[in-house]
Structure 1
Amino acid sequence: MQTCEVETIIQAAMPEADIDVSGEECNFTVAIISERFEGQNLMQRQKGVLALFEEPLKTGRLHALTIKAFTPAQYAEMQNTFLVQLES
């Protein structure tokens, strides 16, 4: 698979999401920021994203997918924490 294929699959299911995909061949890391994750725990978020890749995972086109899923508020808080640490 290519990074653009991974992004296209997620974007089709979550058009409102901000998505960043890194990796190559069959191992990828995705960072997804979406309001859709509001009220979901980490396991629910990961299961929802992994379900989009059921076929590529079964066939071996995709071997590993690391998922970092955030709500916009969580992502903003994480960015603010990082900036505060840099300023200290």
Structure 2
Amino acid sequence: METSEIEAIIQQALPDAEIDVSGEECSFTLAIISDTFEGQNLMQRQKLVLALFQTQLKTGRLHALTIKAYTPAQFAELQNTHLVQLEC
């Protein structure tokens, strides 16, 4: 699969999402920031994203997905934490 295909599938399901896809062939890492994840735990977020790629995973078009799913607030906090560490 191409990264653009993966981004399109996610964008269709999560229109508000900011998406970063890296990897190649059939193994990718996804970083997704969306309000949709509000109130969901890590397992719920991963299940939601994996469900989008059920067919591709079954057929082998995708072999592995690493999913990093954040709410906008969590991502902002993560960025602030890294900035503080860099300033020290």
Q: What is the RMSD computed on CA atoms of the aligned residues?
A: 0.3
Deviation at 1:78, TM superposition (A): 0.2
Deviation digits for residues 25-61 of structure 1 (CA, Å, limit 9, x no counterpart): 0000000000110000000000000000000000000
TM-score (norm 2): 0.99
Task: Give me the identity figure in percent.
Answer: 76
**CA distance in 2 between partners of 1:60 and 1:50 (Å):** 14
**CA distance in 1 between partners of 2:22 and 2:59 (Å):** 21
Alignment partner, residue 77 of structure 2: 77
Alignment partner, residue 38 of structure 2: 38
Alignment partner, residue 8 of structure 2: 8
Deviation at 1:64, TM superposition (A): 0.2
Listed as ranges, the matches of 1:7-26 within 5 Å are 7-26=7-26
Flag structure 1 segments of 5+ consecutive residues without an equivalent.
Answer: none
The aligned length equals 88
**CA distance in 2 between partners of 1:8 and 1:62 (Å):** 15
Letter in 1 for 2:28: F
TM-score (norm 1): 0.99
Deviation at 1:3, TM superposition (A): 0.5
Flag structure 2 segments of 5+ consecutive residues without an equivalent.
Answer: none
Runs of at least 4 residues of structure 1 off by over 2 A? none
